[in-house]
Copies of this chain bind each other. A is one copy, B any other.
Protein backbone atom coordinates (compact mmCIF):
# COMPACT_ATOMS: atom_id res chain seq x y z
CA UNK A 1 0.00 0.00 0.00
CA UNK A 2 1.14 3.55 -0.71
CA UNK A 3 1.51 6.13 2.07
CA UNK A 4 -1.74 7.74 0.98
CA UNK A 5 -3.63 4.44 0.86
CA UNK A 6 -2.50 3.65 4.37
CA UNK A 7 -3.50 7.13 5.48
CA UNK A 8 -6.92 6.85 3.85
CA UNK A 9 -7.62 3.47 5.45
CA UNK A 10 -6.63 4.78 8.82
CA UNK A 11 -8.67 7.98 8.34
CA UNK A 12 -11.68 5.89 7.33
CA UNK A 13 -11.41 3.93 10.56
CA UNK A 14 -11.17 7.21 12.46
CA UNK A 15 -14.29 8.33 10.59
CA UNK A 16 -16.26 5.37 11.93
CA UNK A 17 -15.25 6.30 15.47
CA UNK A 18 -15.94 9.98 14.96
CA UNK A 19 -19.30 9.23 13.33
CA UNK A 20 -20.62 7.78 16.57
CA UNK A 21 -18.96 10.33 18.86
CA UNK A 22 -21.38 12.59 20.70
CA UNK A 23 -21.55 16.37 20.49
CA UNK A 24 -19.97 16.98 23.89
CA UNK A 25 -16.82 15.09 22.98
CA UNK A 26 -16.55 16.72 19.56
CA UNK A 27 -16.94 20.15 21.15
CA UNK A 28 -14.26 19.29 23.70
CA UNK A 29 -11.95 18.41 20.82
CA UNK A 30 -12.73 21.73 19.10
CA UNK A 31 -11.96 23.52 22.33
CA UNK A 32 -8.67 21.62 22.63
CA UNK A 33 -7.82 22.63 19.06
CA UNK A 34 -8.46 26.30 19.84
CA UNK A 35 -6.22 26.12 22.89
CA UNK A 36 -3.50 24.17 21.14
CA UNK A 37 -3.35 26.72 18.31
CA UNK A 38 -2.97 29.46 20.92
CA UNK A 39 -0.21 27.52 22.67
CA UNK A 40 1.59 27.05 19.35
CA UNK A 41 1.75 30.67 18.13
CA UNK A 42 5.57 30.63 17.95
CA UNK A 43 5.86 27.31 16.10
CA UNK A 44 3.13 28.29 13.65
CA UNK A 45 4.64 31.72 12.99
CA UNK A 46 8.10 30.18 12.51
CA UNK A 47 6.72 27.70 10.01
CA UNK A 48 4.88 30.47 8.21
CA UNK A 49 8.10 32.50 8.04
CA UNK A 50 9.74 29.61 6.18
CA UNK A 51 6.93 29.60 3.64
CA UNK A 52 7.20 33.36 3.26
CA UNK A 53 10.97 33.18 2.70
CA UNK A 54 10.52 30.58 -0.01
CA UNK A 55 7.71 32.63 -1.53
CA UNK A 56 9.75 35.84 -1.57
CA UNK A 57 12.68 33.96 -3.10
CA UNK A 58 10.41 32.65 -5.84
CA UNK A 59 9.14 36.18 -6.54
CA UNK A 60 5.53 35.70 -5.38
CA UNK A 61 3.29 38.72 -5.96
CA UNK A 62 2.43 41.00 -3.05
CA UNK A 63 -1.25 40.00 -3.01
CA UNK A 64 -0.46 36.28 -2.90
CA UNK A 65 2.19 36.91 -0.22
CA UNK A 66 -0.48 38.67 1.80
CA UNK A 67 -2.82 35.66 1.53
CA UNK A 68 -0.05 33.38 2.70
CA UNK A 69 0.97 35.50 5.68
CA UNK A 70 -0.03 34.53 9.22
CA UNK A 71 0.20 36.95 12.12
CA UNK A 72 -0.80 36.62 15.76
CA UNK A 73 -3.99 38.50 14.89
CA UNK A 74 -4.76 36.24 11.96
CA UNK A 75 -4.22 33.15 14.09
CA UNK A 76 -6.58 34.70 16.63
CA UNK A 77 -9.09 35.07 13.82
CA UNK A 78 -8.68 31.39 12.95
CA UNK A 79 -9.13 30.44 16.62
CA UNK A 80 -12.24 32.61 16.79
CA UNK A 81 -13.55 30.58 13.81
CA UNK A 82 -12.93 27.33 15.70
CA UNK A 83 -14.88 28.68 18.68
CA UNK A 84 -17.75 29.66 16.41
CA UNK A 85 -17.94 26.16 14.96
CA UNK A 86 -17.90 24.78 18.49
CA UNK A 87 -20.95 26.91 19.30
CA UNK A 88 -22.98 25.81 16.25
CA UNK A 89 -25.64 23.12 16.62
CA UNK A 90 -24.49 19.59 15.78
CA UNK A 91 -26.33 18.40 12.65
CA UNK A 92 -25.58 14.71 13.28
CA UNK A 93 -28.26 12.42 14.65
CA UNK A 94 -31.23 14.59 13.76
CA UNK A 95 -34.06 12.42 12.46
CA UNK A 96 -35.61 14.59 9.79
CA UNK A 97 -38.61 12.37 9.09
CA UNK A 98 -40.03 9.36 10.87
CA UNK A 99 -43.24 7.53 10.11
CA UNK A 100 -44.87 4.22 10.83
CA UNK A 101 -45.94 2.41 7.68
CA UNK A 102 -49.17 0.41 7.34
CA UNK A 103 -47.23 -2.83 7.95
CA UNK A 104 -45.99 -1.50 11.28
CA UNK A 105 -42.42 -0.76 10.23
CA UNK A 106 -41.20 2.48 11.78
CA UNK A 107 -38.92 4.19 9.26
CA UNK A 108 -36.81 7.21 10.11
CA UNK A 109 -34.32 9.26 8.12
CA UNK A 110 -31.35 10.14 10.29
CA UNK A 111 -28.64 12.66 9.48
CA UNK A 112 -25.21 10.98 9.47
CA UNK A 113 -21.73 12.13 8.45
CA UNK A 114 -20.56 11.71 4.87
CA UNK A 115 -17.60 9.73 6.22
CA UNK A 116 -14.16 10.66 4.94
CA UNK A 117 -13.79 13.96 3.10
CA UNK A 118 -10.83 14.87 0.94
CA UNK A 119 -9.94 18.56 0.69
CA UNK A 120 -7.62 19.66 -2.11
CA UNK A 121 -6.82 23.34 -1.82
CA UNK A 122 -4.29 26.00 -2.68
CA UNK A 123 -2.34 28.69 -0.92
CA UNK A 124 -4.30 30.01 2.07
CA UNK A 125 -3.27 28.32 5.34
CA UNK A 126 -6.48 29.26 7.18
CA UNK A 127 -8.35 26.73 5.01
CA UNK A 128 -6.44 23.99 6.82
CA UNK A 129 -8.13 24.82 10.11
CA UNK A 130 -11.48 26.08 8.77
CA UNK A 131 -12.08 22.92 6.77
CA UNK A 132 -10.82 20.54 9.44
CA UNK A 133 -13.04 21.89 12.21
CA UNK A 134 -16.17 21.93 10.04
CA UNK A 135 -15.50 18.31 9.12
CA UNK A 136 -14.89 17.43 12.78
CA UNK A 137 -18.08 19.05 14.04
CA UNK A 138 -20.11 17.26 11.36
CA UNK A 139 -18.55 13.92 12.32
CA UNK A 140 -16.39 13.53 9.22
CA UNK A 141 -12.73 12.60 9.11
CA UNK A 142 -10.75 14.66 6.63
CA UNK A 143 -7.61 14.34 4.53
CA UNK A 144 -6.12 17.77 3.92
CA UNK A 145 -3.91 18.29 0.90
CA UNK A 146 -2.92 21.95 0.61
CA UNK A 147 -0.64 23.76 -1.79
CA UNK A 148 3.14 23.63 -1.69
CA UNK A 149 3.42 27.39 -1.01
CA UNK A 150 1.93 26.92 2.46
CA UNK A 151 3.40 23.52 3.29
CA UNK A 152 5.23 24.54 6.46
CA UNK A 153 2.35 26.60 7.83
CA UNK A 154 -0.24 23.94 7.01
CA UNK A 155 1.89 21.22 8.49
CA UNK A 156 2.30 23.14 11.77
CA UNK A 157 -1.44 23.85 11.94
CA UNK A 158 -2.32 20.23 11.22
CA UNK A 159 0.16 18.93 13.80
CA UNK A 160 -1.40 21.20 16.44
CA UNK A 161 -4.88 19.96 15.61
CA UNK A 162 -3.83 16.30 15.64
CA UNK A 163 -2.16 16.72 19.02
CA UNK A 164 -5.33 18.36 20.32
CA UNK A 165 -7.44 15.45 19.05
CA UNK A 166 -5.28 13.03 20.95
CA UNK A 167 -5.56 15.15 24.07
CA UNK A 168 -9.33 15.07 23.72
CA UNK A 169 -9.37 11.30 23.38
CA UNK A 170 -10.21 11.12 19.69
CA UNK A 171 -8.13 9.40 16.99
CA UNK A 172 -5.43 11.70 15.56
CA UNK A 173 -6.37 10.45 12.11
CA UNK A 174 -9.71 12.24 12.23
CA UNK A 175 -7.56 14.98 10.68
CA UNK A 176 -4.92 13.72 8.25
CA UNK A 177 -2.45 15.91 6.43
CA UNK A 178 -0.68 15.05 3.17
CA UNK A 179 2.91 16.25 3.21
CA UNK A 180 3.48 15.45 -0.45
CA UNK A 181 2.27 18.51 -2.36
CA UNK A 182 3.08 17.17 -5.80
CA UNK A 183 0.43 16.68 -8.44
CA UNK A 184 0.77 12.93 -7.84
CA UNK A 185 -0.70 13.10 -4.35
CA UNK A 186 -3.73 15.03 -5.57
CA UNK A 187 -4.26 12.57 -8.40
CA UNK A 188 -3.93 9.63 -6.07
CA UNK A 189 -6.61 11.09 -3.81
CA UNK A 190 -8.94 11.26 -6.81
CA UNK A 191 -8.60 7.49 -7.22
CA UNK A 192 -9.20 6.46 -3.59
CA UNK A 193 -12.92 5.93 -4.02
CA UNK A 194 -12.94 2.93 -1.68
CA UNK A 195 -12.12 5.11 1.30
CA UNK A 196 -12.77 8.75 0.44
CA UNK A 197 -16.48 9.53 0.23
CA UNK A 198 -16.35 13.05 -1.17
CA UNK A 199 -13.67 15.34 -2.59
CA UNK A 200 -13.99 19.10 -2.23
CA UNK A 201 -11.53 21.13 -4.27
CA UNK A 202 -11.01 24.74 -3.24
CA UNK A 203 -8.90 27.03 -5.34
CA UNK A 204 -8.55 28.40 -8.83
CA UNK A 205 -10.55 27.27 -11.87
CA UNK A 206 -7.64 25.11 -13.11
CA UNK A 207 -7.55 23.03 -9.94
CA UNK A 208 -11.31 22.63 -9.84
CA UNK A 209 -11.59 21.61 -13.47
CA UNK A 210 -8.89 18.99 -13.06
CA UNK A 211 -10.55 17.46 -10.02
CA UNK A 212 -14.01 17.44 -11.59
CA UNK A 213 -12.72 15.78 -14.74
CA UNK A 214 -10.34 13.25 -13.27
CA UNK A 215 -11.80 12.17 -9.95
CA UNK A 216 -13.37 8.76 -9.43
CA UNK A 217 -14.42 9.95 -6.00
CA UNK A 218 -17.64 12.01 -6.03
CA UNK A 219 -16.79 15.72 -6.15
CA UNK A 220 -18.52 18.83 -4.90
CA UNK A 221 -17.57 21.54 -7.34
CA UNK A 222 -17.00 24.88 -5.65
CA UNK A 223 -16.41 28.45 -6.29
CA UNK A 224 -16.17 29.14 -9.98
CA UNK A 225 -18.03 32.39 -10.28
CA UNK A 226 -18.84 34.27 -13.43
CA UNK A 227 -21.53 36.43 -11.83
CA UNK A 228 -23.72 38.99 -13.59
CA UNK A 229 -25.70 42.02 -12.55
CA UNK A 230 -28.55 43.03 -14.83
CA UNK A 231 -29.78 46.61 -14.62
CA UNK A 232 -33.35 46.65 -15.83
CA UNK A 233 -35.03 49.41 -17.84
CA UNK A 234 -37.15 50.24 -14.80
CA UNK A 235 -34.57 50.45 -12.02
CA UNK A 236 -33.41 52.88 -9.36
CA UNK A 237 -30.22 53.82 -11.16
CA UNK A 238 -28.49 55.26 -8.11
CA UNK A 239 -29.13 51.99 -6.25
CA UNK A 240 -28.00 50.09 -9.34
CA UNK A 241 -24.71 51.99 -9.53
CA UNK A 242 -24.00 51.32 -5.87
CA UNK A 243 -24.79 47.62 -6.23
CA UNK A 244 -22.66 47.36 -9.36
CA UNK A 245 -19.75 49.10 -7.65
CA UNK A 246 -20.05 46.87 -4.60
CA UNK A 247 -20.37 43.67 -6.62
CA UNK A 248 -17.30 44.49 -8.73
CA UNK A 249 -15.01 46.39 -6.40
CA UNK A 250 -15.52 45.36 -2.76
CA UNK A 251 -13.33 42.29 -3.30
CA UNK A 252 -12.73 41.48 -6.95
CA UNK A 253 -10.71 38.31 -6.36
CA UNK A 254 -13.54 36.30 -4.78
CA UNK A 255 -16.00 34.05 -6.54
CA UNK A 256 -19.13 36.06 -5.76
CA UNK A 257 -17.74 39.22 -7.36
CA UNK A 258 -19.42 40.43 -10.55
CA UNK A 259 -17.63 39.78 -13.83
CA UNK A 260 -20.21 40.98 -16.35
CA UNK A 261 -22.63 43.89 -16.27
CA UNK A 262 -25.77 43.67 -18.39
CA UNK A 263 -27.76 46.85 -18.96
CA UNK A 264 -31.16 47.29 -20.55
CA UNK A 265 -31.03 49.33 -23.74
CA UNK A 266 -33.77 51.56 -22.28
CA UNK A 267 -31.44 53.02 -19.62
CA UNK A 268 -27.97 52.29 -20.99
CA UNK A 269 -27.41 55.87 -22.20
CA UNK A 270 -28.14 57.24 -18.75
CA UNK A 271 -26.81 54.44 -16.58
CA UNK A 272 -23.47 53.51 -18.14
CA UNK A 273 -21.86 56.93 -17.57
CA UNK A 274 -23.15 56.90 -13.95
CA UNK A 275 -21.74 53.42 -13.36
CA UNK A 276 -18.45 54.37 -14.99
CA UNK A 277 -18.02 57.25 -12.54
CA UNK A 278 -18.25 54.78 -9.66
CA UNK A 279 -16.02 52.18 -11.30
CA UNK A 280 -13.40 54.78 -12.19
CA UNK A 281 -12.74 55.19 -8.47
CA UNK A 282 -10.96 51.84 -8.67
CA UNK A 283 -9.78 52.27 -12.26
CA UNK A 284 -11.89 49.32 -13.35
CA UNK A 285 -11.04 48.34 -16.91
CA UNK A 286 -14.23 48.08 -18.97
CA UNK A 287 -14.59 45.77 -21.94
CA UNK A 288 -17.75 46.64 -23.79
CA UNK A 289 -20.06 45.56 -26.57
CA UNK A 290 -20.41 47.98 -29.54
CA UNK A 291 -23.37 49.80 -27.96
CA UNK A 292 -21.45 50.27 -24.73
CA UNK A 293 -18.60 51.80 -26.71
CA UNK A 294 -21.04 54.04 -28.60
CA UNK A 295 -22.18 55.38 -25.23
CA UNK A 296 -18.92 55.47 -23.27
CA UNK A 297 -16.57 56.15 -26.12
CA UNK A 298 -13.91 54.18 -27.88
CA UNK A 299 -11.53 54.46 -24.94
CA UNK A 300 -13.50 51.47 -23.67
CA UNK A 301 -11.83 48.36 -24.97
CA UNK A 302 -14.03 46.10 -27.15
CA UNK A 303 -15.17 42.92 -25.40
CA UNK A 304 -14.08 39.69 -27.06
CA UNK A 305 -16.17 36.56 -27.01
CA UNK A 306 -13.91 35.10 -24.28
CA UNK A 307 -14.37 38.13 -22.06
CA UNK A 308 -17.96 37.04 -21.44
CA UNK A 309 -16.74 33.61 -20.32
CA UNK A 310 -13.90 34.75 -18.08
CA UNK A 311 -13.66 34.99 -14.32
CA UNK A 312 -11.34 38.02 -14.22
CA UNK A 313 -10.92 38.06 -10.46
CA UNK A 314 -9.60 41.57 -10.90
CA UNK A 315 -10.65 45.17 -11.58
CA UNK A 316 -11.91 44.25 -15.04
CA UNK A 317 -15.57 44.22 -16.08
CA UNK A 318 -17.24 42.98 -19.24
CA UNK A 319 -20.26 45.07 -20.22
CA UNK A 320 -23.13 44.32 -22.57
CA UNK A 321 -26.26 46.21 -23.48
CA UNK A 322 -29.27 43.89 -23.87
CA UNK A 323 -32.81 44.38 -25.10
CA UNK A 324 -34.44 43.51 -21.79
CA UNK A 325 -34.89 40.90 -19.09
CA UNK A 326 -35.45 37.99 -21.47
CA UNK A 327 -32.16 38.52 -23.25
CA UNK A 328 -30.46 39.03 -19.88
CA UNK A 329 -31.80 35.72 -18.55
CA UNK A 330 -30.79 33.71 -21.59
CA UNK A 331 -27.36 35.39 -21.66
CA UNK A 332 -26.83 34.55 -17.98
CA UNK A 333 -27.98 30.96 -18.38
CA UNK A 334 -25.55 30.61 -21.26
CA UNK A 335 -22.46 32.39 -19.88
CA UNK A 336 -22.91 32.15 -16.11
CA UNK A 337 -21.37 29.44 -13.97
CA UNK A 338 -24.50 29.01 -11.84
CA UNK A 339 -23.06 30.92 -8.89
CA UNK A 340 -24.70 34.27 -8.06
CA UNK A 341 -26.79 36.49 -10.31
CA UNK A 342 -28.57 39.77 -9.61
CA UNK A 343 -31.20 42.01 -11.13
CA UNK A 344 -31.83 45.63 -10.20
CA UNK A 345 -35.43 46.53 -10.96
CA UNK A 346 -38.52 48.28 -9.61
CA UNK A 347 -40.83 46.03 -11.62
CA UNK A 348 -42.51 43.23 -9.67
CA UNK A 349 -43.12 40.85 -12.56
CA UNK A 350 -39.66 41.37 -14.01
CA UNK A 351 -38.13 40.56 -10.61
CA UNK A 352 -40.20 37.38 -10.27
CA UNK A 353 -39.34 36.26 -13.79
CA UNK A 354 -35.63 36.74 -13.13
CA UNK A 355 -35.85 34.80 -9.84
CA UNK A 356 -37.76 31.98 -11.50
CA UNK A 357 -35.83 31.62 -14.70
CA UNK A 358 -32.20 32.30 -13.86
CA UNK A 359 -30.47 28.98 -13.17
CA UNK A 360 -27.97 29.66 -10.39
CA UNK A 361 -27.19 28.82 -6.78
CA UNK A 362 -28.23 32.31 -5.61
CA UNK A 363 -30.46 34.76 -7.44
CA UNK A 364 -30.79 38.31 -6.09
CA UNK A 365 -33.26 41.11 -6.56
CA UNK A 366 -31.90 44.56 -5.70
CA UNK A 367 -28.81 43.42 -3.81
CA UNK A 368 -25.14 42.78 -4.44
CA UNK A 369 -23.99 39.27 -5.44
CA UNK A 370 -21.24 39.65 -2.83
CA UNK A 371 -23.59 38.31 -0.13
CA UNK A 372 -23.29 34.68 -1.27
CA UNK A 373 -21.44 33.33 1.74
CA UNK A 374 -22.18 30.92 4.57
CA UNK A 375 -21.92 33.58 7.26
CA UNK A 376 -24.07 36.10 5.39
CA UNK A 377 -26.69 33.41 4.72
CA UNK A 378 -26.82 32.52 8.40
CA UNK A 379 -25.24 29.06 8.13
CA UNK A 380 -22.66 30.05 10.76
CA UNK A 381 -19.71 28.86 8.71
CA UNK A 382 -18.81 27.71 5.24
CA UNK A 383 -16.58 25.07 3.71
CA UNK A 384 -17.07 26.39 0.19
CA UNK A 385 -19.74 27.45 -2.27
CA UNK A 386 -21.13 24.68 -4.42
CA UNK A 387 -21.88 25.55 -8.02
CA UNK A 388 -23.23 22.14 -8.88
CA UNK A 389 -26.80 20.98 -8.47
CA UNK A 390 -26.20 17.63 -6.87
CA UNK A 391 -26.03 17.25 -3.09
CA UNK A 392 -25.58 20.89 -2.16
CA UNK A 393 -25.95 24.17 -4.01
CA UNK A 394 -24.64 27.52 -2.81
CA UNK A 395 -22.82 28.10 0.49
CA UNK A 396 -22.11 24.82 2.28
CA UNK A 397 -22.29 24.75 6.06
CA UNK A 398 -22.44 21.84 8.48
CA UNK A 399 -25.67 20.33 7.14
CA UNK A 400 -24.19 20.17 3.65
CA UNK A 401 -21.41 17.95 5.06
CA UNK A 402 -23.91 15.27 6.02
CA UNK A 403 -25.68 12.36 4.39
CA UNK A 404 -28.61 10.32 5.69
CA UNK A 405 -29.35 6.78 6.77
CA UNK A 406 -32.75 5.13 6.98
CA UNK A 407 -33.23 3.41 10.32
CA UNK A 408 -36.02 0.86 10.43
CA UNK A 409 -37.56 -0.65 13.55
CA UNK A 410 -39.42 -3.89 12.87
CA UNK A 411 -41.21 -6.68 14.69
CA UNK A 412 -40.41 -9.51 12.32
CA UNK A 413 -41.89 -8.04 9.14
CA UNK A 414 -41.22 -9.87 5.90
CA UNK A 415 -42.13 -8.66 2.42
CA UNK A 416 -44.99 -10.35 0.66
Selecting from A78-86, A157-165, A265-273, A358-366, the interface stretch reads A358-366
- Assembled-state Cα–Cα distance A409/B367 (Å): 8
Known: A363-B405, A403-B393, A413-B371. A378 touches B99 (CB 8 A): yes
In the complex, which residues 303-362 of chain A have their Cβ closer than 8 Å to any Cβ of chain B?
A: 333, 355-357, 359-362
Which residues of chain B have C-beta atoms less than 8 A from A247's C-beta? 414
Partner among B389, B405, B407, B412 whose Cβ is within 8 Å of the Cβ of A242? B412
- Assembled-state Cα–Cα distance A410/B363 (Å): 11
Partner among B16, B112, B333, B376 whose Cβ is within 8 Å of the Cβ of A415? B376
B411 touches A359 (CB 8 A): no
A198 touches B368 (CB 8 A): no
Partner among B236, B246, B368, B414 whose Cβ is within 8 Å of the Cβ of A243? B414
Q: Which residue of B lies closest to A213 (CB)?
A: B216
Which residues of chain B have C-beta atoms less than 8 A from A376's C-beta? 101, 105, 415
Which residues of chain B have C-beta atoms less than 8 A from A408's C-beta? 362-365, 367, 371
B406 touches A356 (CB 8 A): no
Known: A218-B388, A357-B16. A406 touches B363 (CB 8 A): yes
Which residues of chain B have C-beta atoms less than 8 A from A378's C-beta? 99, 101, 107
Q: How many identical subunits does the complex contain?
A: 2
Rounded to whole Å, the gap between the CB of A59 and the closest CB of chain B is: 33
Which residues of chain B have C-beta atoms less than 8 A from A409's C-beta? 365-366
Which residues of chain B have C-beta atoms less than 8 A from A213's C-beta? 216
Q: Which residue of B lies closest to A351 (CB)?
A: B409
A377 touches B365 (CB 8 A): no
- Assembled-state Cα–Cα distance A206/B407 (Å): 29
Rounded to whole Å, the gap between the CB of A248 and the closest CB of chain B is: 11
Does A115 have its Cβ within 8 Å of any Cβ on chain B?
yes
Known: A16-B333, A101-B376, A393-B403. A370 touches B107 (CB 8 A): no
Known: A359-B115, A377-B107, A391-B391. A242 touches B414 (CB 8 A): yes
Q: Which residue of B lies closest to A244 (CB)?
A: B414
Does A5 have its Cβ within 8 Å of any Cβ on chain B?
no
Main secondary structure on chain A at its contact with chain B? mixed
Per-position binary interface string of chain A over residues 369-398, scored 1 when its CB falls under 8 Å from any chain B CB and 0 otherwise: 011100011100000000011110110000
Q: Which residue of B lies closest to A372 (CB)?
A: B406
Rounded to whole Å, the gap between the CB of A106 and the closest CB of chain B is: 10
Rounded to whole Å, the gap between the CB of A92 and the closest CB of chain B is: 11
In the complex, which residues 51-103 of chain A have their Cβ closer than 8 Å to any Cβ of chain B?
A: 99, 101
Which residues of chain B have C-beta atoms less than 8 A from A365's C-beta? 408-410
Total A residues in contact with B, Cβ cutoff 8 Å = 66
Does A31 have its Cβ within 8 Å of any Cβ on chain B?
no
Partner among B377, B393, B404 whose Cβ is within 8 Å of the Cβ of A393? B404
B410 touches A364 (CB 8 A): yes
Rounded to whole Å, the gap between the CB of A121 and the closest CB of chain B is: 19
A414 touches B363 (CB 8 A): no
Max count, chain B CB within 10 A of own CB: residue among A99, A403, A411: A403
A412 touches B236 (CB 8 A): yes
Which residues of chain B have C-beta atoms less than 8 A from A274's C-beta? none
- Assembled-state Cα–Cα distance A216/B19 (Å): 30
B356 touches A389 (CB 8 A): no
Which residues of chain B have C-beta atoms less than 8 A from A300's C-beta? none
In the complex, which residues 6-20 of chain A have their Cβ closer than 8 Å to any Cβ of chain B?
A: 16, 19-20
Q: Which residue of B lies closest to A93 (CB)?
A: B356
**Given A112-B359, A366-B409, A371-B415: 12 more A-B contacts, CB < 8 Å:** A99-B378, A101-B376, A105-B371, A107-B377, A218-B388, A218-B390, A246-B414, A363-B406, A367-B414, A371-B408, A377-B406, A390-B391
- Return 14 A-B CB contacts under 8 Å, by A number: A16-B357, A101-B377, A105-B376, A107-B378, A114-B389, A197-B390, A243-B412, A246-B414, A359-B405, A361-B405, A362-B408, A367-B412, A367-B413, A371-B415
